[in-house]
Structure 1
Amino acid sequence: MGYYLYLGDNSDVLDVSAPFNIESYKTAEGQYAIPFKAKYLKLTDNSVQSGDVLSSLVMRVAQD
């Protein structure tokens, strides 16, 4: 299964290869609330039943 990743209510697909400044999403020292959304892609011709999707998003943090 593939997916498109979005940030908040923005309708543009998030470029996950580009640098991403999280400072505006800071909620407390060392904590951030980033409103990611995803649209999952159906990659086969099989029928798909709607329902909850459990997934994880892993971010790598780097500092310049």
Structure 2
Amino acid sequence: MKDHGIYADLVQQTIDSSRNFFQLPEQIKKAYGQNKQTVYPNTSRGYFPVYGEILHEDVGPDSKELFDQGN
């Protein structure tokens, strides 16, 4: 990762913060779920547990945990 203008320290802090968040207990992470967001559209923000998102109906729920964010 280079030539994108983002300092390596900031990239590492972001990775560390992400790891720390996903190590939290499920109940804490759920407090940041999509249904708790006050931005529009709330469907593009927040925490999703494992199997909490379906991108393709024919495949079923995705086996990933994620936190959507945007500006």
Question: Greater relative contact order: 1 or 2 (C-alpha under 8 angstroms, separation 6 or more)?
Answer: 1
Higher strand share: 1
User: Larger % of helix: which?
Assistant: 2
TM range (shorter): under 0.3
